[in-house]
Structure 1
């Protein structure tokens, strides 16, 4: 259905362009060529101008209606609001977890550093070292 409306809209565009080119402009236009072919003799010059003007308005209104119809049909086919490719990619990507803080880390309380010997009697009153909080990742 959508393809049929698009093809019809293209046909209306072609007819609209032809009718606009056939109208009499200040310089004469293509309608002066049609006058020699018998169009003006058949309907008269005034009636030919009126007909071309009415056709122009009719084709313009038909083009507007077809474009609105194509929008209604296309929006009815999608489940949610239409999004651009960039918006879809942004929704699909996951934000990575905060990276670990590089550098030497303090050993856990009561653990010994590698290569060091444990003391025989470790005091139990030592407070654990405060871990720095990682900075939030910049928003993209």
Structure 2
């Protein structure tokens, strides 16, 4: 059921994108203006805009409905358990870091009375 609803949701998303892209720009937001487009046709410019507007609303309402339905299905499947509990695996315990004995030095032992600074560069 969830897979069928997800496929319908994706098809609605593509249809909604297509219908929005087919609509004519009325504000001229990109400088194109509302002019242009074919003159003749079965439907007039106003009737086509109204039909595409209604189709956009229909697709938008159906898209929101499928979004809510998918959310409800996902919430029912979650059942408040963690993913690890659903897999039946035990959680990984943290590794313990071995303790460093007191008085031990993390630097390598120095040989004699040699300084730890690098030698000066000579030409």
| TM-score in same-fold range (> 0.5) | yes
Structure number with the bigger relative contact order (C-alpha 8 A, sep ≥ 6) is 2
In structure 2, stretches of 5+ residues that fail to align are: 85-89, 103-123
Indicate the structure with greater helix content: 1
Matches within 5 A, 1:33-112: 33=38, 36=40, 38-40=41-43, 44-80=44-80, 92-95=91-94, 102=101
CA contact (8 A) 1:9 1:67 kept: yes
CA contact (8 A) 1:19 1:55 kept: yes
Shift of 1:95: 3.9
Q: Distance in 2 between matches of 1:45 and 1:14?
A: 24
Q: Which residue of 2 aligns with 1:15?
A: 15
Q: Which residue of 1 aligns with 2:37?
A: 32
- Residues matched between the structures, number: 92
Shift of 1:98: 8.0
Shift of 1:22: 1.2
Q: Which residue of 2 aligns with 1:117?
A: none
Shift of 1:46: 1.5
Q: Which residue of 2 aligns with 1:111?
A: none
In structure 1, stretches of 5+ residues that fail to align are: 86-90, 104-140
SS at match of 2:101: coil
Question: Relative to 1, partners in 2 of residues 1:45 and 1:97: Cα closer, same or farther, differing over 3 Å?
Answer: closer
TM-score by length of 2: 0.57
